[in-house]
Amino acid sequence: MAHSVCPWWLGYLLVSPLRRLAQNPAALLAPYLSQGMTVLEPGPGMGFFTLEMARRVGASGRVVVVDIQSKMLDGLRRRARKAGVLDRIDARVVSKDGMALGDLAGKVDFALAFAMVHELPDQARFFAETAAALRPGAKLLLAEPAGHVTPEGFAATLAQAAKAGLRVEPGPAIWRSLSAVLVKV
């Protein structure tokens, strides 16, 4: 499996309003989010899901986004400022070697990993770091693009998540995606 990162300029296409026709952030995220939650989104791109998460967690909530590409986060910040939710978003540039989430240990209520885990060279490390940030019972919604990830590859990803202490549950049907809900045990 290749470990190339989505180029920053593709982020503009990924936030297209047309994408909402097939992958509506409000409908997808509604079952998982409520006011006051702390949310983690690794690899947010330019914020296709981030802005909806910031709206749903409200003024008392927080959305922490981490990415290795500062240009993606710059685009996300611009969009969040326009949407009036920038004050709820903590955008962090991280290294490809780790997410540096020590300050979030056991504090995250929900995490979203959408179409990004297949880009990682060390999935085991990703799941270990994410699991450490999640509080017990918290959920991680994982979705990988069916065009890039085979069912066998997704099964291997889920095995890495299970090794990190995340219980695998069926995920929602997401257009052109393989998905699962992972629960911190």
122-173 confidence digits (pLDDT tens): 999 999 999 999 999 999 999 999 989 999 999 999 999 999 999 999 999 9
pLDDT-derived band at 2 (thresholds 50, 70, 90) equals: very low
DSSP class of residue 55?
H
Residue 4, exposed/middle/buried by CB under 10 A (0-12, 13-18, 19+)?
exposed
Q: How many domains does the chain have?
A: 1
Beta strands in the chain (DSSP E): 38-42, 62-67, 89-93, 108-114, 134-145, 166-170, 177-184
pLDDT classification of 21: cutoffs 50, 70, 90: low
Residue 1 lies in a domain: no
Q: Is 138 part of a structural domain of the chain?
A: yes
What are 170's two structure tokens? 């069926």
Question: Is position 56 within any domain?
Answer: yes
pLDDT of residue 15: 58
> pLDDT digit string (tens) for 86-112?
999 999 999 988 999 999 999 999 999
Confirm if 27 and 4 have CB atoms less than 8 A apart. no
pTM for the full predicted model: 0.90
Domain of residue 123 covers: 8-184
Domain-located, residue 66: yes
Q: What is the CATH number of the domain that holds 43?
A: 3.40.50.150
Strand ranges, E, within 80-132:
89-93, 108-114
Q: How confident is the model at residue 77 (pLDDT cuts 50, 70, 90)?
A: very high
Structural contact between residues 28 and 56, judged by C-beta atoms closer than 8 angstroms: no
CB 153 within 8 A of CB 1: yes
Tokens of residue 105, six digits: 């240990």
In a domain, 2, yes or no: no
In angstroms, the CA 24 to CA 32 distance is 14
Half-sphere exposure of residue 7: CA atoms within 13 angstroms, side-chain side? 3
**Rounded mean pLDDT of 32-49?**
95
Residue at 134 is within a domain: yes
